[in-house]
Structure 1
Amino acid sequence: MKYSKPLQAVLLALAMTATLATAAAPAVRAPHFAIDGAQFKLDGKPYIIRSGEMHYLRVPRAAWRERLRMARAMGLNTVTTYAFWSQHEPEPGQWDFSGQNDLRAFIKTAAEEGLNVVLRPGPYVCAEVDFGGFPAWLLRTPGLRVRSMDTRYLEASTRYFQRLAKEVGDLQSSRGGPILMLQIENEYGSFGRDHDYLRAVRAQLRKAGFDAPLFTSDGGAGRLFEGGTLADVPAVVNFGGGMDDAKGSIEELAAWRKQGPRMAGEYWAGWFDHWGEQHHRQSAEEAARTVDWMLSQGVSFNLYMFHGGTSFGWLAGANSSGTEPYMPDTTSYDYDAALDEAGRPTPKYLALREVIGKHVKEALPPVPSAPQPRAVPAFALKPAGGLLPQLETLSHARPSRWVRAMEEFGQNYGYILYRKRLDAPAKGSLVLEGLHDQATIFADGRVIGRMDRRRGESKLAVDLPAGAQIDLLVEAMGRIGFGPRLVDDNKGITRAVKLNEDELEGWTVYPLPMDAAALKRLPAAAGDPAAPGFWRGTLQLDKPVDTFLDTRGWGKGQVWVNGHHLGRFWEIGPQQTLYLPGSWLKEGGNEVLVFTTEQPTTTTMQGLADPVFDTPKPR
């Protein structure tokens, strides 16, 4: 067909306009990070995630950069962390993303050190922390059930995600940031099978503004995949052991999800400890062989843990199983990880670095100089007042007809004391129903017995006169954080106190959270060294150094240094030291405050260059 010259000119002009418009239109850019079938892609290129888990709460903020730099030098390209709701919203509507809780700063520091980030925002995280990372104040609402479609719970978790997104939403890969992807909940298949709940969590994340790729993570068994995954969300698998375990778990994942990335969301390259158990170890050779196999197969991985650190303060949680009703976790979260509790490379670190180096094209950065914890000379501690004489200083009395759980008094952590003066003689069995977790029983100020939930203890034979004062000091040793029993692990005495079959009424209750404000009110007073109470001392230093406080001989209790709560110690082991970061110390005098519930056999402490994990003592 022929056109007239005028028409040809018009058509040519139109063609030129279309060409110019096409040239001017911006090219469609591939997302910074994407999940494409069985591959991860970063800037359009296949990407193997070589990740290690490290929790900002468990590492002193001053050490974040050096520990992250160690991760990069081992050959990792990513760091994974949970976000901890319990620490960011300690009370309803009160938010804390400062200091040690500054998740944004942690993520940005990782990026500065050449590491991407996988964020696991919860709302449930497990992580061997109290209540699995849920804030304890959720337990103040009678009947509220976490990890469910309970509207009261979902309203609270919605608020949490919205606030979290304000902190780190702009750091997602969907906006060019280092957060590659986010996990929906955590190992939900080990808890339930309510897919409506998982979809609700996903919807909460999306509505809050989390628009990066999402994934789920569960143990490697069909039942767990069935309960914990969503058909349209990529899934990864968690496992421990050696190379054969890795093969089996990845095969199970591939059989369950024909399309999708092959990744160990958690490869347990170590394990955590309970009080009264052996310290766990896993050989460096086994971990290295397993990582070698994963890299040879193009399988992405996350080492759980790369650096475990310490569950400072009241952070440590507990576990429960059919045979062991209650197993509290130690303060140390060393985890037999590649970096030890103080951040030093271990033989496992060097073995993993060698293996990773074989599989990457680029030269690994040199290993930075390691921290050097030091021994410090013994220093004296002196009695600083028994607990009972200082109750009014540390707490405010609350009358209560019945004993009740500490959460009902607005308390989240610590100790709680129930006091009653007997109206009549008491002879027979004193029964503490629902003891959570350990009780010291006083009669007229004298210790007459102890009960331990770990051993199922709940009764004490008594023969007391009318008018005697009984005090029940109960220590919360960490809420259960995994399994069905986590939903209602309230603390204190959760049901009743009885004398034989008769429930005792008329109590005065003293919540003892042992927070900074209360401890500052403690007077400088002498005390009975045999009674539960406080001890003070001064650690003199020429310069601040990392060290491990030797707590052997001190029974059971807590330590604060310059106001920093190091955590719990207990002579039953295996942990016999508390990590003390040099960044929490100063030149000159450093105040050490110890609270004990058992009479110590020494009056000094010293710092050691290395931690002590000994054979547990049965109790």
Structure 2
Amino acid sequence: MKIRIYYMVLGILLTISVHAQHSFTLSDTAFLLDSKPFVMISGEMHYPRVPREAWRARMKMAKAMGLNTIGTYVFWNVHEPQKGKFDFAGNNDVRAFVKIAQEEGLWVILRPSPYVCAEWEFGGYPYWLQNEEGLIVRSKEVKYLREYAAYIKEVGRQLAPLQVNHGGNILMVQIENEYGSYGSDKEYLEINKKLFIEAGFDGLLYTCDPAPDIAAGHLPGLLPAVNGDVTPSKVHRLIQENHGGVGPYYVAEWYPAWFDWWGTTHHTVPAERYVGKLDSILTAGISINMYMFHGGTTRGFMNGANYNDKSPYEPQISSYDYDAPLDEAGNPTEKFMKFREVIARHLPAGVVLPEVPEAKAAVAVPSFGLGEAGRVSDMLPAPVRNGSPLTFEDLHQDYGFVLYRSKLTGGRAGVLRLKELRDYAVVMVNGGIVGTLDRRLAQDSLALQLPAGEVQLDILVENLGRVNFGPYLLKNRKGITEKVAFNGEEVKGWEMYGLPFKEVKGMRLKKGGDSGHAPVIRRGTFDLPVVGDTYLDMRQWGKGVVWINGHNVGRYWSVGPQQTLYVPVEWLKATRNEVVVLELIKPEQKELKGLDKAVLNEVK
């Protein structure tokens, strides 16, 4: 509840808004908000995946579907990209995100575990942890706990004052994240709890785990929440078994669909399959957090990947549409409307849902040219030299690309082998593309016919996303992580050029520039008589990254299923929208257009 206090100072009326302090506690059967039973109808939405300018609009949509709460992770690698350098500004301003939710009448479930999974790069861990010798994530190892403590204290400075017991809207805070799927060390979980309390999180703490792992992942004394598609009876049984025979009952991740990775079909789940399940959960008075209510977009290089000994490397796509009730652009879907109908039947007497805001208009941008171009190899920084290849981590580079360069004696044929490539390589001889290697397909070798004389070997390596789940969290270095051999003989004498592409301003490109058959950067502009969302149609392109007006809007790859890149209206203008495309394998492509809808399910 917001209270307005009026003061008269020097004849000027001042209005100060203060938020009333609430209580949020547990009974044996229910959550109690100000001592009254309260069912959280929550939806997950991640602030880095939505333009800051659109946060409020998405929250209004949440209210219109009937949600009373928003859930969000807090992402360590977003907020501490380099050791000791914290960033809570712009789209990283999670404090503002929480406060906007409060202004819109929404409670918040906060999930600031250093490990988030979330189909996010390295599960949320910053890459530089791998450069701390002996550091082991998700463990009691001293260096890890020291970095963890420093980070969570910074998060506490931002967010602990916004807990409900301090007048804010954060109802509960989650420690760790699905730890039972990874380990079972209760002492480690107790350390997590202690660090959170020391950081100022003195309200309700909880854990969450998939149903099979809840016994391993919960901490006695804290509420154990369940993740997954579970029946009311199973929720009751699992929580009672791990919480002294009582509730309350909470499904912390209830999945209305699933995420996608490159080369597979788009995952969708008809709303009809979940309407009855949602009704039964709410009828039983069980609180719920839909994962996801609105997925948005994993922009830049922040997607994660799945990998284990039994399955291939699976990097996730940029779209995080998730077949969620609110689509990637923030528009309501059929699933949204059907879930809204269910929720409306469970509202307190007299409560009426707000009208659903209109869907945003999208525009189809006519074809336009990218008339300026330059080869990536002509825009290299100063090299780092070493006898053997260095990883991204060795080069203190987080994301993007590294170009590895060496010399070979030509006039012979042979097999080039990259041992433990991570993750995708464009191989060039004397500046021209001769092939690609793809970790997804377990490719590490390429047959070459070298021309006579000394040959320049270039290998442009892309980090396609660090593993975000499972034991390979501990084996997440990027680049050429071991060695390169030609005909069985190790190639030595490397120059390495870091290409993180954090921004693309000021690139010196030439009009009509011919890239030859090599990775290229192209630039062009388009106008919008009517400014609206659009979707760049990348179906004629090969593989790369796109920036619009300086914003990295994500990766594209002809293998699909994602064939368009969503461009939010908030980042567009009427004239001279600048488009920069980094194209790896089809440098001859020069035309681009926008569609008025997404293409998320075309696999080639």
Query: Normalising by structure 2, what TM-score?
Result: 0.93
- 1:605 aligns to what? 592
Shift of 1:529: 5.4
1:382 lines up with 2:346 in the alignment: no
- 2:392 aligns to what? 406
Q: CA-to-partner distance for each residue in 1:58-115, whole Å, 9 max, x for gaps?
A: 1111111111011011111100000111111111111111111110111011111110
Contact 1:544 1:583 in 2 (8 A): no
In the TM superposition, 1:431-580 aligns within 5 A as 431-464=417-450, 465-516=452-503, 519-524=505-510, 526-528=513-515, 530-580=517-567
- AA matched with 2:203: A
Q: What is the SS of the residue equivalent to 2:344?
A: helix
Equivalents in 2 of 1:387, 1:579: separation in Å? 25
- 1:20 aligns to what? none
- 2:340 aligns to what? 353
Q: Identity over aligned residues, as a percent?
A: 44
Contact 2:563 2:602 in 1 (8 A): no
Contact 2:46 2:73 in 1 (8 A): yes
Q: Mean Cα displacement is larger for which, 552-561 or 536-545?
A: 536-545
In the TM superposition, 1:259-298 aligns within 5 A as 259-298=246-285
Equivalents in 1 of 2:277, 2:508: separation in Å? 53
Equivalents in 1 of 2:317, 2:340: separation in Å? 28
Q: What is the SS of the residue equivalent to 2:308?
A: coil
- 2:160 aligns to what? 169
Equivalents in 1 of 2:236, 2:480: separation in Å? 45
- The structure 1 residue matched to 2:356, chosen from 367, 370, 377, is 367
1:144 lines up with 2:139 in the alignment: no
Q: Mean Cα displacement is larger for which, 258-267 or 45-54?
A: 258-267
- 1:230 aligns to what? 219
- 1:39 aligns to what? 30
- 1:156 aligns to what? 147
- 1:91 aligns to what? 82
Contact 2:111 2:174 in 1 (8 A): yes
- The structure 2 residue matched to 1:61, chosen from 28, 52, 57, is 52
Shift of 1:253: 3.4
Equivalents in 2 of 1:246, 1:459: separation in Å? 52
- AA matched with 2:280: W
Contact 1:382 1:536 in 2 (8 A): yes
Equivalents in 1 of 2:235, 2:481: separation in Å? 40
- AA matched with 2:228: F
- 1:199 aligns to what? 190
1:415 lines up with 2:406 in the alignment: no
Equivalents in 2 of 1:389, 1:261: separation in Å? 61
- 1:115 aligns to what? 106
Q: CA-to-partner distance for each residue in 1:309-333, whole Å, 9 max, x for gaps?
A: 0001111111113432300000000
Equivalents in 2 of 1:249, 1:474: separation in Å? 46
Shift of 1:497: 1.0
Shift of 1:614: 2.8
Shift of 1:212: 1.4
1:331 lines up with 2:318 in the alignment: yes
Q: CA-to-partner distance for each residue in 1:203-231, whole Å, 9 max, x for gaps?
A: 1111111111100000001xx12321111
Contact 1:438 1:475 in 2 (8 A): yes
Shift of 1:370: 2.1
Equivalents in 1 of 2:578, 2:489: separation in Å? 46
Gapped runs of 5+ residues in structure 2? 1-19
Classify 1:546/1:313 alpha carbon distance in 2 versus 1 (closer, same or farther; 3 Å).
same
Q: What is the SS of the residue equivalent to 1:372?
A: coil
Q: What is the SS of the residue equivalent to 2:527?
A: strand
Contact 1:30 1:43 in 2 (8 A): no
Q: CA-to-partner distance for each residue in 1:271-322, whole Å, 9 max, x for gaps?
A: 0000000101111112221110001101100000000000011111111134
Equivalents in 1 of 2:21, 2:494: separation in Å? 66
Shift of 1:427: 4.1
Classify 1:39/1:578 alpha carbon distance in 2 versus 1 (closer, same or farther; 3 Å).
same
- AA matched with 1:184: I
Equivalents in 2 of 1:198, 1:401: separation in Å? 43
Contact 1:431 1:497 in 2 (8 A): yes
- AA matched with 2:374: G
Contact 1:239 1:245 in 2 (8 A): no
- 2:4 aligns to what? none
Equivalents in 2 of 1:105, 1:417: separation in Å? 39
Classify 1:125/1:370 alpha carbon distance in 2 versus 1 (closer, same or farther; 3 Å).
same
- AA matched with 2:214: F
Classify 1:208/1:426 alpha carbon distance in 2 versus 1 (closer, same or farther; 3 Å).
farther
Contact 2:308 2:471 in 1 (8 A): no
- 1:132 aligns to what? 123
Equivalents in 1 of 2:158, 2:529: separation in Å? 39
Q: What is the SS of the residue equivalent to 2:311?
A: coil
Q: What is the SS of the residue equivalent to 2:312?
A: coil
Classify 1:255/1:227 alpha carbon distance in 2 versus 1 (closer, same or farther; 3 Å).
closer
- 2:64 aligns to what? 73
Contact 1:236 1:261 in 2 (8 A): no
Shift of 1:250: 4.7
Equivalents in 1 of 2:508, 2:59: separation in Å? 39
Equivalents in 1 of 2:372, 2:232: separation in Å? 53
Equivalents in 2 of 1:185, 1:196: separation in Å? 13
Equivalents in 2 of 1:333, 1:125: separation in Å? 15
Higher-Rg member (1/2): 1
Contact 2:560 2:603 in 1 (8 A): yes
Shift of 1:423: 5.1
Classify 1:316/1:152 alpha carbon distance in 2 versus 1 (closer, same or farther; 3 Å).
same
Equivalents in 2 of 1:503, 1:605: separation in Å? 42
Q: What is the SS of the residue equivalent to 2:341?
A: helix
Contact 1:239 1:246 in 2 (8 A): no
The total of aligned residue pairs comes to 580
- AA matched with 1:234: L
Contact 2:232 2:284 in 1 (8 A): no
The structure that is helix-richer by fraction is 1
Classify 1:500/1:201 alpha carbon distance in 2 versus 1 (closer, same or farther; 3 Å).
farther
- AA matched with 2:318: T
Equivalents in 1 of 2:530, 2:73: separation in Å? 34
Contact 1:426 1:466 in 2 (8 A): no
Contact 1:342 1:373 in 2 (8 A): no
- AA matched with 1:440: V
Shift of 1:390: 2.0
Shift of 1:462: 2.4
- 1:13 aligns to what? none
Q: CA-to-partner distance for each residue in 1:223-267, whole Å, 9 max, x for gaps?
A: x12321111111100003xxx656545533333432232111000
- AA matched with 2:193: R
Q: What is the SS of the residue equivalent to 1:408?
A: coil
Q: What is the SS of the residue equivalent to 1:199?
A: helix
